[in-house]
Amino acid sequence: MNIVVLGAGAWGTALAISLAERHRVTLWSRDAAQVAAMAAARENRRYLPGCPLPADLLLSAEFDVARAADMALIVTPLAGLRETVARLARCDRPPPVLWACKGLEAGSGLLPHQVVAAEGPGLQSGVLTGPSFADEVARGLPTALTLAAADESFARDMAHVLNGHRLRLYANGDLIGAEVGGAVKNVLAIACGISDGLGLGLNARAALMTRGLVEITRFGVVLGARRETFMGLAGMGDLILTCTGDLSRNRRVGLALARGQALEAITRELGHVAEGVSTTREVIRRARELGVDMPITEAVYTVLDGRLSPAAAVDVLMAREPRAE
């Protein structure tokens, strides 16, 4: 299959490296200087240092490479999804589209599939999501992901084609659940980073993850997701990895907040997008509109918004009235 990976950050580069073992892959970046640097070094030193690019992985800064693709995999930050889909939709024969960005669109609160439907109506499409760190995928360590689409036959077909001996894919027909799990787990990762940074212990982390999964499920079901999706890779699996793994950018945001660093300085030092920051604001807005109770997410929001210190937000959570589980 001829695949174009749109977005040459860490995750896009890792997926391109992995898929190049079995397919003809072109990694695209809008930044021609970055493409030239990767071509010269055969490595993405800016976003994924130490992971060589395969000799047959093609690189391009020309969007026209998407016109000849059998499938486009969008791995831009969520903020770039709308523009990228619109450009694909203008192709004479737009290829099927998968996206690997997570979150709710800033301002609109839309899930990625809603953005795709607005800009590319009629496109065959789905999401690739689940517990995965780019560095490990690029190094060929075993990883399992969910490929979800409203059209379950499309999900099965794409999972079969893209499945590899080190990148195992499971098809799923619950597009909403897969996206909600991937989005809201980043909020919980910030919460767990705050807890760990304050030295609150493993008991507290376990409580945050467990009750956080309840919040994710509650929110997702109201939006139309299947409850069982959140027990799988796109829910529990992604939550566990992001809340406990040291490679998690969102967890690192929480750790830095606990140390008293300002949010602006934290995001600047990361050098990568931590989607949980903008997602928190959108989830809270949608949850309030829908009447969904999400106390941990509310606590993270008050810290990101500067209204409470991390320690004070913990006190607010612990002071809540006891209730049945």
Please list, in sequence order, all residues whose beta carbon lies within 8 angstroms of the beta carbon of residue 322, skipping any fewer than 6 positions away: none
Give the containing element (helix H, strand E) for 167.
strand 167-172
- 157-190 in b/e burial notation, b at 16+ Cβ within 10 A? bbbeebbeeebebbbbbbbbbbbbbbbbbbbbbb
Q: Whose CA is closest to 30, among 69, 71, 64, 67?
A: 64
Residue 185 known to be catalytic: yes
Backbone torsion region of residue 122, taken as left when φ is above 0, otherwise alpha when ψ lies between -120 and 50, otherwise beta: left
Checking phi first, is residue 211 left (phi over 0); if not, alpha (psi -120 to 50) or beta? alpha
Cα–Cα distance between 256 and 245 in angstroms, integer? 15
Backbone phi and psi for residue 177, each to the nearest 5 degrees, phi listed first? -60, -40
Q: Which of 82, 102, 185, 252 is catalytic?
A: 185
Q: Are strands 143-148 and 125-129 parallel, antiparallel or unpaired?
A: antiparallel
Closest-CA residue to 294 (of 188, 176, 178) = 188
Cβ neighbours of 151 (radius 10 Å): 14
Question: Of 151, 86, 81, 75, nearest to 110 (Cα)?
Answer: 81
What residues are annotated to the active site?
185
